[in-house]
Homo-oligomer: A and B are copies of this chain.
Amino acid sequence: MKLPLEGLTVLEFSQYMAGPYAGLRLADLGARVIKVERPILGDACRSLVTKNMKVGDDSVLFHTVNRNKESFQANLKDPDDVEVIKRLLPKVDVITHNFRPGIIERLGLDFDTVSQINPQLIYAQISGYGDSGPWKRKPGQDLLAQSMSGLTWLSGNKDDDPIPFGAAVADMVCGSNMVQAILAALLRRRKTGQGAKVDVSLMESILDFQFEGLTAYLNDDSNPSNELPTRSETASAHAYLGAPYGIYPTQNGYIALAMGSIETLSKLLGLNELADYSSNNRYYLDRDSAKSVIAKHLVTQTTEHWIAKLEAGEYWCSDVLTYNQLVETDGYKSLEMEMTITRHDEISLVTTRCPIRLNGNKIYHPKAAPILGDHTTNIKQEFNL
């Protein structure tokens, strides 16, 4: 299958998660992605071990984010290496970096310099909080961006402390936005021949991610003290949605209930008490009370029991799975999300594929993340550097 970005070359100066996640998607869609890495340590993510897990010399995390890429070693503090990079620049289409504001100018690879060398280049920058304003020097890190953005007050129940999302959500939505920005700028270039600078930041991205909650907050006349978002007392899953929206314990596990008619739900569950809440939007106004009625009832029977009853009445619900349970389901298996990636030094691991399908085809790439500098010599020869 010919992939849509074949023929495009990306130089990835980005480290850690957000930029490399963008690079991974570009690579999965067909671009050639060359990581430019410093000697000895390389991308800092190589040594960011999660649960002490490594494959070869590098963390599993690094392998996850950097498969299907090449590695070119360069010391950007050495003017000779910077010259090599500058000779490479006219031959690439995109560069990405996440140096802190100010650093890239010192290295001589800022947009003004680089766009004189290659006016058609798409120059993509990631920062924590943009390149101006009082936060510009703050470390651009996922948990801190979550914490500053208000996000940690959206999950969990009313009396819980702030609960961060247990995944690098700011990094990932930011990387994803960068892919969009790069592709849009490439489309414009195909039409006009112009390069572009595109900027994304963790904070702007995680605020956009909360556009639903923030817009509700900013327009809530009913609440002059603006104390939103308010999580429900139990089974909270969304601060702005009414009962029954949430996850409830059952006799042997849990069940997730989406929004739907309280009347229908009350009939299907055989829970007459719940029907009282169906009028006048009481399902939002009295959601704590409604949810507590539901919770008391659901805990008396198994998950399977309730799902059978609710699915028969087409009420939207589901089981709540752990990874162990998930990977054993036929549904998960039929998605064929897993693939094995390998490298010439015989390392091998299992990871997930690109989530996009093209003309009905799933996209697989068997190539594991590169050894630091593994492609330096070949790239120098190929581009006559």
Interface residues of A in 193-231 (CB under 8 A from B): 196-201, 203-205, 207-220, 222, 226-229, 231
A151 to chain B, nearest CB (A): 8
A173 interface residue, CB < 8 Å from B?
Answer: yes
Bitwise, A214-252 to B at CB < 8 A (1) or not (0) is 111111101000111101000011111110011101000
A: contact size bracket: 35 or more
Chain A 161-189: CB-based contact to B (< 8 A → 1; otherwise 0): 11111111100111011011101111110
A184–B335 contact, CB under 8 A? no
Contact B357 A144 (CB under 8 A): no
| Cβ-based interface call for A308 (8 A) | no
Whether the Cβ atoms of B148 and A321 lie closer than 8 Å is yes
- From A71-79, A267-275, A346-354, A371-379, the one touching the partner chain is A346-354
Is A116 interfacial (CB 8 A cutoff)? no
Is A39 in contact with chain B by the CB < 8 A criterion?
no
Q: Choose the segment among A59-67, A82-90, A102-110 that binds chain B (4+ C-beta atoms closer than 8 Å).
A: A59-67
A11 within 8 A of partner (CB): no
Provide the main secondary structure of the chain A interface. Answer: mixed
Instruction: Tell me, yes or no, whether A324 is within 8 Å of chain B by CB.
Output: yes
Residues of B within 8 A of A211 (CB): 64-65, 351-352
Q: How far is the CA of A87 from the CA of B263 in the complex (A)?
A: 42
In whole angstroms, how far apart are the Cα atoms of A369 and B63 in the complex? 43
In the complex, per-residue mask of A113-153: 1 if CB is within 8 Å of any chain B CB, else 0? 00000000000000001101111001101111011111111
For the complex, give the distance between the alpha carbons of A85 and B238 in Å: 36
Given contacts A50-B240, A166-B238, contact A208 B154 (CB under 8 A): no
Residues of A with Cβ closer than 8 Å to B? 2, 4-5, 7, 17, 25, 29-30, 48-53, 55, 60-61, 63-65, 129-130, 132-135, 138-139, 141-144, 146-156, 160-169, 172-174, 176-177, 179-181, 183-188, 190-191, 196-201, 203-205, 207-220, 222, 226-229, 231, 236-242, 245-247, 249, 254, 256-259, 281, 284-285, 316-327, 329-331, 334-335, 337-338, 349-360
Offer 10 A-B interface pairs, CB within 8 angstroms, sorted by A.
Answer: A49-B284, A51-B228, A156-B163, A164-B237, A165-B165, A165-B169, A166-B229, A180-B356, A183-B184, A201-B355
Instruction: List 5 tightest A-B contacts by C-beta distance, closest first.
Output: A154-B166, A133-B334, A50-B240, A183-B183, A135-B331
